[in-house]
Amino acid sequence: MHYDQLKIKALEVMGLEKQTHVNGFKILNNRLFIESHIEVIDSHRGNLNFSAFYYRLLSVVNQLSS
């Protein structure tokens, strides 16, 4: 999924209070997690070193969407 599509989807599900986990760690605040990951990705766009942020964000969005 292209990052712009992921960002739109993440902003849509950001308010959901469903319990999520990433790499075995429980996310305590979905809104803060999503906002911080979007901010990091936007500020370092094009740098492949930040692909881990993309995949963690994708994982949380998939969990919240299901």
**Using one digit for the tens of pLDDT, what is the confidence trace for 18-53?**
999 999 999 999 999 999 999 999 998 878 788 899
The verdict on pTM exceeding 0.85 is: yes
If we measure between CA atoms, which residue out of 2, 11, 4 comes closest to residue 61?
11
Residue-wise over 40-50: b if at least 16 C-beta within 10 A, else e? Answer: ebeeeeeeeee
Q: Which residue has the tokens 């429980």?
A: 26
